[in-house]
Structure 1
Amino acid sequence: MLAMEFKAVIKKSQKVAIDEAIRTARFVRNKVLRYWMDNRGVGKKELDRYNTQLRDEFKFVKDLNSQACQASVENVERAIKRFFDNCKKKVPGKKGYPRFKKHSRFGVADAARTVEYKQSGWKLSPDNKSIKFTDKKGIGNVKLKGTWDLWRFDQKLIKRVRIVQRTDGYYVQFCIKVDNHEQLEATGFTIGLDVGLKEFYTDSDGYSEPNPRFYRTGEKRLKFYQRRVSRKNKGSSNRRKAINKLGKQHLKISRQREEHAKRLARSYRKKSAAFIVGRLCIKGDRFCCKAALF
């Protein structure tokens, strides 16, 4: 599965419609989760049937595409399955009991800031530079800004379309069912990586990658923006602006961490036939080892 992400260029009216769609998806998820908590032992059929009841009872739920509502139900089903799997495997620490999703002010996107469509409710333009959402939420035509070549793939291969809200705007993600494995020539060279806290990692050749500590580097700016948030009156426009700036700083640190890890992983993947990564289990006292072969 290949994920492509584009920046969404939207108008004010479209922003309101997207926020309403995200709130509706979150509402369906939380209602279905509450139904499962109150009726232990219910399965997939009962959850799907309750989703249909919600669409009949609330007009704003019916305005959202039916498969988008179903995607919210599937999100609950995955959370429940993950919880029971962790219990069976006796994973140390908390088992990940399903929790309600609420609106978060800043940070990276999660299920609380996402609405997911399947293979209906949207239509790509012939040039693949815009997408039109056809349900009754009124999102309409959304322009896409990015460098991915979406036209190279058949639209039938697009299995999911997500609208993601982040602090710096809205994004549209496409999940495409293609073989994304890159064939590399075998080098016959195997290396081990020990991920730690003091050093980012140490390989079996003795090389240690220093920990960039992006959070510590940006902590001064975070404290500055946090003080500005605390000084503003609750509910004021100035407080919302301060929260937005604080969120952008958190998002910047998150992206720095992700890109740094990807860059190092790509460098080892190209020069190694296989590498084994060892990491510490923070939740328990045992040592975990995960192997990745290429």
Structure 2
Amino acid sequence: MTHRKVYRFRMEPTQVQGEALERMAGARRWVWNWGLARRKEVYEATKQSLPMAQLGAELTALKKQPETAWLKAVDSQLLQQALKDLDRAYQAFFGKRARFPRFKSRKKDEPRFRIPQRVKVEDSRVYVPKVGWVRIRQNQPIDCTIKGATFKRDAEGHWYVTLTAEFEMPDVALPPANPEKVVGIDLGLKDFAVLSDGTRIAPPKFYRAGECRLKKASKALSRKQKGSKNCEKARRRLSRVHAKVRNQRQDWLHKLTTNLVTRYDGLCIEDLSLKGMARTKLSRSVMDAALGEFRRQVEYKTVWHRKHLAVIDRYFPSSRLCRECGSINANLTLSDKVWTCGCGAVHDRDLNAARNIRAEGIRTIPLVYGQSPSREGIVPVVVGHTNTQNACGEPVRPRQQLRHGSVKQESHVL
């Protein structure tokens, strides 16, 4: 089975190479605008869409005209890729996944371009067609086949190359997981994550820590005259503050997810409605926590390391469900951190949710035969056995009944 990996390295071009990269990004923007104008012109005249093949042939003819002969100095695949990106944007619009393609502004559009082939990496250098070898900060080797490269300049003025590579993985079933190494993860804001083994991970709150610097840099930018050099300097200072917060968050998340995936054989997480959580009064804290990025990294890293991942239905009452008797506390509120069940069991809200998520997710994970998790009252599904018991021997209630028992989606945001 073929999978993809993405590598991103910072480039260190010389002044001449930097100018060449900007020219290629400008050519990509020009071709995009030209292709968009041609498609709109043909549609207004004939009420039919211009085929991609005909648009590519017209682009080739442009190189022979004196006023557009400068296109010969740009890599041909780069120009064709710009037209493919435009066609993909049209398909996304007709598929109601995006708005109608718009013309790209020289001032607002960040310089970038894509080259699908002939990009190589050797000795901490990347080969860019029509530019040559450019030094990069390569912090890890590339052991896969490169299938494409995207070059982009960020708001700080630094160039980055993003390499898409493919690698083969054996198309066989994942090895059974050791139940002792299967963990449930309850995500939130007070604690970023609470694991079923009792581990609590505090939220770093990088945005909150850098909020004063962001406000100061943003206020300085608002006082500058638009279009002036001082305005550009202030914009770059603000971009550097944003970049630092973003890099801190990404570095912390990568270290955390890598540690979890390598440490455990199976991970059980909850399918949270992040869009709904981002529309609440806690939206700033939700965006700062980057719960969606955490799940994205866990999903692809479990594939790379051949580990198990179970995603629990978002309507599963993980916090309300008593893991001792199986009853549901319908009166539980977000402010209740500790609650007592009618059977006398006292539960920590987040820890109880993490253990219920593990108990629910472990049903879909094949386990090593003959072993059972160290979890009071829970006997999971093992290889060769289909019948299970839960909640101290009581039968597990059906999923539909659990859905009706849960009043609303649990977000665990406090």
* TM-score, normalised with respect to structure 1: 0.72
Q: CA deviation at 1:196?
A: 4.8
152, 155, 165: which one pairs with 1:176?
165
| Structure 1 match to 2:288 | none
Other structure's SS at 2:253 match? helix
Aligned pair 1:261/2:253, yes or no? Answer: yes
147, 152, 160: which one pairs with 1:159?
147
Other structure's SS at 1:178 match? strand
Distance 1:184 1:245 in 2: 50
Distance 1:84 1:209 in 2: 43
State the one-letter code of the partner of 2:128: F
| Structure 2 match to 1:20 | 23
Other structure's SS at 1:163 match? strand
Distance 2:217 2:207 in 1: 14
Distance 1:115 1:272 in 2: 40
Name the CA shift for 1:206/1:78 in 2 (closer, same or farther; >3 Å).
Answer: farther
178, 186, 205: which one pairs with 2:177?
186
Residues 139-158 of structure 1: CA deviation (Å, up to 9, x unaligned): 343222322224x55xxx22
Distance 2:24 2:256 in 1: 37
Contact 1:7-1:145 at 8 Å conserved across structures: yes
Within 5 A, what are the aligned runs for 1:21-170?
A: 21-37=24-40, 39=43, 41-52=49-60, 55-56=63-64, 58-85=68-95, 87=96, 95-100=97-102, 101-102=104-105, 112-120=110-118, 128-135=123-130, 139-150=131-142, 152=143, 157-166=145-154, 167=156, 169-170=158-159
Name the CA shift for 1:49/1:215 in 2 (closer, same or farther; >3 Å).
Answer: farther
State the one-letter code of the partner of 1:275: C
* TM-score, normalised with respect to structure 2: 0.54
Distance 1:193 1:77 in 2: 41
| Structure 1 match to 2:390 | none
Name the CA shift for 1:78/1:264 in 2 (closer, same or farther; >3 Å).
Answer: farther
**RMSD of aligned alpha carbons:** 3.7
Greater RCO (CA < 8 Å, at least 6 residues apart)? 1
State the one-letter code of the partner of 1:117: I
Name the CA shift for 1:118/1:283 in 2 (closer, same or farther; >3 Å).
Answer: same
Contact 2:31-2:82 at 8 Å conserved across structures: yes
Contact 2:191-2:201 at 8 Å conserved across structures: yes
Identity across the alignment (%): 23
Distance 1:207 1:54 in 2: 63
Aligned pair 1:279/2:267, yes or no? Answer: no
Distance 1:204 1:267 in 2: 16
Structure 2 residues without counterparts, runs of 5 or longer = 280-291, 300-307, 310-414
Contact 2:11-2:135 at 8 Å conserved across structures: yes
Q: How many residues align?
A: 268
Structure 1 residues without counterparts, runs of 5 or longer = 88-94, 106-110
Distance 2:133 2:79 in 1: 21
Name the CA shift for 1:70/1:226 in 2 (closer, same or farther; >3 Å).
Answer: same
Name the CA shift for 1:55/1:186 in 2 (closer, same or farther; >3 Å).
Answer: farther
Distance 2:64 2:195 in 1: 58
Residues 174-221 of structure 1: CA deviation (Å, up to 9, x unaligned): 32222379x887334555545556654555667664443322221211
State the one-letter code of the partner of 1:15: G
Name the CA shift for 1:196/1:50 in 2 (closer, same or farther; >3 Å).
Answer: farther
